[in-house]
Amino acid sequence: MSLEIKIPAVGESITEVTIAQWFKKDGDFVEMDEVICELESDKATFELNAEAAGKLTIKAEEGATLEIGEVVCLIDTEAQGNSSSSSKEETSGSSSQAQDSSAGPKSTGEIKEMTVPTVGESISEVTISSWLKSDGDYVELDEVIAEVDSDKATFELPAEANGILRIVAEEGSTLEIGALICKIEVTEGGAPASSSGNKDSQENSSANQSGAPSKESYATGHASPAAAKIIAERGLDASQIKGTGKDGRITKEDAENAKAPSKEAPKQPSTAGTSTSIAHSTEGRGERREKMSSLRKTVSRRLVSVKNETAMLTTFNEVNMKPIMDLRKQYKEKFKEKYEVNLGFMSFFTKAVTMALKEWPAVNAQINGDEIVYHDYVDVSIAVSAPKGLMVPVIRNAETLSFDQIEKEVVRLATKARDNKLTIDEMTGGTFTITNGGIFGSMLSTPIINAPQSAILGMHNIVERPMAVNGEVKILPIMYVALSYDHRIIDGRESVSFLVRVKELLEDPTRLLLGV
C-alpha cells in the first residue's frame, strides 16, 4: 500500500512552499516520524516527517514549488526495511564490519567517463559555470557535481556513479555536446571512513571538539531557492554567509539576517617620496576583465546576424495612455482582490497585439527558406532583463488568454527568468515579441527583431506632453511605440496599419473587451 504524503497546512496566509532539501533519496527506507525533507515558505522553514515506515518514492524534486495539499512523495508501507537484517549482521559479524569500515571504499577498476549531455535541440555547446565538487572528492550516484551554462539556461550535472572524481574540464571551459567533462574512478563499499588518520580526519576531529558541524555535503554553503533569490536581490556574497540549515545550507532566514558588504573607502597611497600630482593621477584607474558568458556570446552573435540578414526598418507612433491609466485607476484594486495579481500595462498591450495580428497576419509570420510560414496562433515573447542577460520567455496562445491570465503568466515567467530557472521549452518558439524599455526610462528606441520572427514592438516610458485635442491644447500622458519589422515579408502598408490598429485599441480599451 502506498501512502501519499502531501504538503501540510503550515499557516493561514501560506498557500505554497518550496522543497528546500531532501534528506532521503528516492528508494530509501524511512522510519515513521523520521525527517525526510525541508520545506520553505515565504515566512519560515519547516521539516516534513514520514507518516509511516516504508520505501520512499519522491514526486517533487528540490527547488520545486508546490501548493498546500499537493503530493510531495509516496511511502510504500508494505516494503520491508533492512533494519532487522542489518542488526542481525551486526550481531554476527561486528568485527568484519569494523574492518570494512576502516578499509573504506574499494576500487572496481572501472573508469566512468562523463560527457556533456544533450540539453536541447538548438544547443551545441555549454560552459562549465562552477564545480560543486573538487578533484579527488568522493561522489555518490546522482549527486550534483557541477553547473553548466548554455546560451539559454543553466543545468545541473549529476554524478553517473559512486567513486572518486577526476575533473577534466576546468571552470570557464566551453565544451561541445558529447565532449569529455570528467571521469569517475568507480568504487564500491560506500564513502571513505571518517576515522582514517589523514589530515582531513584530524581537521574534522578538531572541528567536532570545537562544536562545529562535521557533516559536509552539496548543501554546505549553498543557498536554498528562497535564500538564493534574496541574495541576488540584495547583492550579497553567499560565501560570506554562514548557513544554519541542514549540513550548513544557507536558509532564507540566514539570507535575510545577512548584512550587505560595506563599501570601504579606498586607501590613500603613501605620498612619501612622490609628488602630490603623481599620487592623484593614479587614483581610481582600476579595471577588470570578465569572460563573456555563453548567453552573452550567443545574444551578440544573433543580434549581428539579424542586422546582416534582414531588411529591418522601424516605424513609430504615439499612444495617449490616459484611457488605460483611468481604467487601471478605477479597477486595479478590485482586479487585484479578485485575481490576486496587479493589473499592468503588459496585458493591455498583449491583447491589443493579438487582435491586430489577426488582421495583419504577415506581422505574425516568418520566413523559412523559400516559404512564408503564417501562424493561426499568437505566441508572444516578452523580453526580460535577467542577472545573466536578456531572456525572452514565451506566453503561449496569448490570443486565448484573459487579462488576469496574461498578467499571471508575465509574473511567472519574469520571476523564473530572474531566478535563472527558465526551461528550454519556455524560451523556444514565439511568433511576435514585446519589449518594454520604458521601465528603464527609455523615451524612444529601435528594437532589434528576435529572429526568426519578423517583427517586434517596443514600449517606452510615459511622459506628460502637450497635445492638440479638438482644437485645444491638453496635457496628456503619452507613450511612443516602435515597430521594427523585416521588410522582406512585411510591407510598409502592413507595418504602419498594424501599429495604427494597436494605437486605436489602446486609446479606446473598450474595443479590447468587445473585440472591435
116 in the same domain as 26: no
Are the CB atoms for 39 and 17 separated by under 8 Å? yes
423 in the same domain as 367: yes
**pLDDT band at 92, cuts 50/70/90?**
very low
pLDDT digits (tens, 9 = 90+) for 382-407: 988 877 777 889 999 999 999 999 99
DSSP 335-347: HHHHHSS---HHH
SS3 content of the chain, % helix, strand, coil (to 5): 30, 30, 40
Q: Is residue 123 part of a domain?
A: yes
C-alpha cell at 5: 504524503
Residue 473 has what pLDDT?
93
Query: CATH code at 244?
Result: 4.10.320.10
**pLDDT band at 278, cuts 50/70/90?**
low
Whether the predicted pLDDT of 145 surpasses 70: yes
Residue 460 has what pLDDT?
93
Q: Is residue 207 part of a domain?
A: no
323-342 average pLDDT score: 91
Q: Is residue 158 part of a domain?
A: yes
Q: Where are the alpha helices (DSSP H) in 56-198?
A: 83-103
pLDDT digits (tens, 9 = 90+) for 46-83: 788 888 888 999 998 888 888 888 899 998 888 766 54
HSE-CB at 123 with a 13 A cutoff on CA atoms is 27
410 in the same domain as 490: yes
Q: Is residue 213 part of a domain?
A: no
- Count structural domains, the chain: 4
pLDDT, averaged across the chain: 80
Residue 87 has what pLDDT?
42
Residue 225 has what pLDDT?
59
465 in the same domain as 365: yes
pLDDT digits (tens, 9 = 90+) for 95-133: 444 444 445 677 778 888 999 887 765 677 888 878 888
pLDDT digits (tens, 9 = 90+) for 337-358: 999 898 889 999 999 999 999 9
Q: Specify the 3-state DSSP secondary structure of 511.
A: helix
**pLDDT band at 214, cuts 50/70/90?**
very low
Residue 295 has what pLDDT?
66
330 in the same domain as 406: yes
171-176 average pLDDT score: 83
62 in the same domain as 11: yes
Burial of 45 (0-12, 13-18, 19+ CB in 10 A): buried
Measured CA to CA, the distance from residue 328 to residue 347 in angstroms comes to 11
C-alpha cell at 410: 508575465
Calculate what percentage of the chain has a pLDDT beyond 90.
27
The answer to whether 326 is a known catalytic residue is no
Burial of 419 (0-12, 13-18, 19+ CB in 10 A): middle
502 in the same domain as 412: yes
For cell 568522493, the residue is 138
Return the closest-CA partner of residue 149 out of 130, 167, 126.
126
Tell me which of 57, 76, 95 is where a domain ends. Answer: 76
288-302 average pLDDT score: 75
Out of 280, 379, 491, 508, pick the active-site residue: 491
Q: Is residue 276 part of a domain?
A: no
The answer to whether 200 is a known catalytic residue is no
122 in the same domain as 65: no
Return the closest-CA partner of residue 404 out of 502, 331, 319, 506.
331
Q: Is residue 96 part of a domain?
A: no
Span of 37-46, 388-397, 419-428 with lowest mean pLDDT:
37-46
Q: Specify the 3-state DSSP secondary structure of 274.
A: coil
Q: Is residue 493 part of a domain?
A: yes
Q: Specify the 3-state DSSP secondary structure of 334.
A: helix
**pLDDT band at 254, cuts 50/70/90?**
confident
**pLDDT band at 224, cuts 50/70/90?**
low
Region of 71 please: left (phi>0), alpha (psi -120 to 50) or beta. beta
pLDDT digits (tens, 9 = 90+) for 445-470: 999 998 889 999 999 999 999 999 88
Residue range(s) defining the domain that contains residue 232: 219-255
455 in the same domain as 329: yes
For cell 519556455, the residue is 426
Nearest-Å Rg of the Cα atoms of the chain is 29
203-211 average pLDDT score: 43
Residue 197 has what pLDDT?
41
Whether the predicted pLDDT of 195 surpasses 70: no
Residue 361 has what pLDDT?
94
Return the closest-CA partner of residue 428 out of 385, 384, 381.
381
121 in the same domain as 62: no
Q: Is residue 212 part of a domain?
A: no
373 in the same domain as 488: yes
How far lies 256's CA from each of 241, 259, 262, 404, 417, in Å?
A: 10, 8, 16, 31, 22
Query: CATH code at 44?
Result: 2.40.50.100
472 in the same domain as 351: yes
